[in-house]
Structure 1
Amino acid sequence: DIPSDEVQKIMESVENKRGEVIIVPKDSPIYFQLRNFGGLVALLRFRLD
């Protein structure tokens, strides 16, 4: 699991850059798929090189 203070920092950083944070509840069907990615997923606007 990711420490809650680290999650808070990531969320604040995303919101400061006009990003959107979506929290997926544990009872959602997608929850377990996200857990396989480490619990955090990002949709990026620009290609990374």
Structure 2
Amino acid sequence: MGSLGGLQTAIQNEWKNQEKDFQQFGKDVCSRVVTLEDNRKALVGSLK
């Protein structure tokens, strides 16, 4: 039973690491989308 507990702990730790990476990825994507949208607005504004 002890080894199963160790495995579960290892899986939980890995899950936390992956979750942090995924959250950072989401933030990066969001900021890029916002930047692209701002660039698009500026471009459309300059074409008028």
TM superposition score normalised by structure 1: 0.33
Greater RCO (CA < 8 Å, at least 6 residues apart): 1
Q: Higher helix fraction: Structure 1 or Structure 2?
A: 2
**Which is greater in Rg?**
2
